[in-house]
Amino acid sequence: GLTPERVVDAALEVADADGIEAVSLRRLAATLGVTPMAIYRHVRNKSHLLDLMAERLLEQVDLATDELATWQDRLRRLLGSYQAVVAAHPAAPLLLSRPFVSPAAPRAAEALLAILHSAGFDAGQSVRLFEVISGMLLGPAIHRATWAAAERDRPGDANRQQASMDELSAGEFPYLSSAQQFMDWSQTADADRLTIELMVGGLETLADQPDGGRLARRRPVRRR
């Protein structure tokens, strides 16, 4: 009864609980009650398994388009769906930020590039923006993931940082001291929503400026 889907499900559970470094074919075999060779019938190696895990996540992103909606709302919907998938899986930021091969990746990229085209950006500008958006979108989630890993693996580090912040002088750091009570790196919804709104607002500004706000165009890559 072992299937690739069961292997990926088990791997995601391990990664979400203990990080992607904890994922191993031997551990999965023990979890699923099979021999390691049984796992190898479905995945070639750990890199292939991580690719399949990333693909599973991307398949959950809603790529449906509403042609009657503005490009801003289409972008909010796409990025919001992506963020919801990432928020549901602690391992997602690191899985999706590594280079991986997946049939789902081109479909997600095509959906985002289509929205950027609707906003008035040409192919070269859209590629540059695609790279920046990808990094900005995963930024808060990666920060939360690394913070959670530090608290899990080295709790003393987080405690020391908090103690150092508590000792700041209000006279020397008046703004940081007054903002300290509001800092909570575990907040997901606000950070994700603000990330999308900052991107939408920035893109609106660039789209309204001549030449996309002097957004540099890359020369097309000549393929042999």
Tell me the per-residue pLDDT of 29-66, one tens digit each, with 9 for 90 and over. 999 999 999 999 999 999 999 999 999 999 999 999 89
This prediction's pTM: 0.81
Cα angle 120, 224, 127; round to 5: 20
Mean local confidence (pLDDT), 10-14: 96
- The separation between the first and the last C-alpha atoms of the chain, rounded to the nearest angstrom, is 45
Please state at what angle helix 4-18 crosses helix 25-32, rounded to 10 degrees.
110
How far apart are alpha carbons 122 and 217 in whole angstroms?
A: 9
How far apart are alpha carbons 121 and 205 in whole angstroms?
A: 12
Q: Sign of torsion, CA 186 139 150 84?
A: positive
Whole-number pLDDT of residue 218? 46
Tell me the per-residue pLDDT of 68-108, one tens digit each, with 9 for 90 and over. 999 999 999 999 999 999 999 999 999 999 999 999 999 99
Token pair listed for 201: 């607002």
Whole-number pLDDT of residue 166? 74
In the predicted structure, residue 177 carries a pLDDT above the cut 90: no
How far apart are alpha carbons 106 and 100 in whole angstroms?
A: 11
DSSP 180: G
How far apart are alpha carbons 29 and 102 in whole angstroms?
A: 24
Cα angle 117, 76, 212; round to 5: 35
Mean local confidence (pLDDT), 147-171: 72
Token pair listed for 95: 């899985």
